[in-house]
């Protein structure tokens, strides 16, 4: 079997909580990196390290062998790729486009069609993991696309990841990511209500949480978020508003398959209450705050 061409020219679009750490991993791995971010200030730390900063998505994607996007939602991704000076216009034949944002299946399929029209390959490859995992190169890529396209891009993904899982054709990664996140959102909403009930019930919170986190409910997520809710520490690892977005996307995908995601809908109401309380830019752990009596610790 022939060895895939090792791609050296990489464009990275979007330098938020996740994208900034991912781009830094690519730089450290030795790729010739060009970045774009709507707010140029977020690119300044990479520019100081010698990374080329493009003024538009199209300029970033020009001549790149692999182009990766990591932005907030469908609207941001669409603007990046198909908007004014969109990256799609400079995708070269043979290049691989990777959409790592958490977006809808319909959008990734539309984007894949646009990329194919340029002669490029496409992967939807969202990730699991937090800001900390992005910075450490320990993300898990959930990939939709062909095995051949994945092999072309594998060295790039490997620089940012712990695992890379090919789940099926285009759209498979996006759907599994939304399923993953809606399950996480349900867990976080349930945990917030549990902690509020523990506190209002006058229980020893530390002992009660030891029972929960050490028993059947004690998933890695529950353990991590419980610690953040009780510290409290709401420095964003995962913005609360983005979990609400993901829950909404998951509910939409379920409806497309004649399935009502009742638990996702209930969790979404909890996250919407957090947004209404002005906590949208805080970490998902902050959804416990509207349930707490004023002044409680």
pLDDT digits (tens, 9 = 90+) for 149-191: 999 999 999 999 999 999 999 999 999 999 999 999 999 999 9
The pLDDT assigned to 296 comes to 44
Q: Which CATH architecture has domain 175-291?
A: Orthogonal Bundle (1.10)
Question: Is 177 a catalytic site residue?
Answer: yes
Q: Is the pLDDT of residue 217 over 80?
A: yes
Q: Do 9-169 and 175-291 fold alike per CATH?
A: no
pTM: 0.94
Of 162, 177, 223, 245, the active-site residue reads 177
**Residue 207 CB contacts under 8 Å (≥ 6 apart), including other chains:** none
Q: Is the pLDDT of residue 112 over 90?
A: yes
Domain ranges of the chain: 9-169, 175-291
Q: What is the CATH code of the structural domain delimited by 9-169? A: 3.40.50.720
The pLDDT assigned to 193 comes to 98
């Amino acid at each position: 079997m022939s060895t895939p061409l090792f791609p050296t020219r990489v464009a990275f679009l979007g330098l938020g909580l996740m994208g900034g750490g991912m781009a830094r991993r690519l730089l450290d791995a030795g790729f010739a990196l060009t970045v774009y971010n709507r707010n140029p200030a977020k690119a300044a730390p990479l520019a100081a390290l010698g990374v080329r900063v493009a003024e538009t998505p199209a300029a970033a994607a020009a001549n790149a062998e692999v182009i990766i996007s990591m932005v907030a939602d469908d609207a941001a991704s669409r603007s990046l790729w198909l908007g004014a000076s969109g990256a799609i216009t400079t995708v070269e034949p043979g290049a691989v486009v990777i959409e790592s944002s958490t977006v809808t299946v319909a959008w990734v399929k539309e984007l894949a069609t646009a990329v194919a029209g340029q002669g490029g390959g496409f992967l939807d490859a969202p990730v699991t993991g937090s800001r900390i995992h992005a910075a450490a190169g320990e993300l898990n890529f959930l990939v939709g696309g062909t095995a051949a396209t994945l092999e072309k891009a594998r060295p790039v993904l490997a620089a940012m990841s712990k695992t890379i899982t090919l789940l099926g054709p285009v759209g498979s990664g996006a759907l599994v990511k939304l399923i993953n996140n809606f399950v996480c959102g349900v867990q976080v909403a349930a945990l917030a209500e549990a902690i509020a009930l523990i506190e209002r019930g006058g229980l020893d919170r530390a002992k009660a949480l030891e029972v929960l986190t050490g028993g059947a409910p004690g998933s890695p997520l529950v353990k991590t978020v419980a610690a953040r809710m009780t510290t409290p520490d709401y420095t964003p690892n995962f913005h609360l508003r983005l979990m609400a977005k993901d829950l909404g996307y998951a509910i939409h995908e379920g409806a497309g398959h004649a399935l009502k995601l009742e638990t996702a809908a209930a969790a979404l109401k909890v996250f919407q209450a957090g947004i209404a309380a002005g906590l949208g830019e805080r970490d998902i752990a902050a959804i416990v705050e509207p349930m707490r009596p004023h002044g409680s610790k």
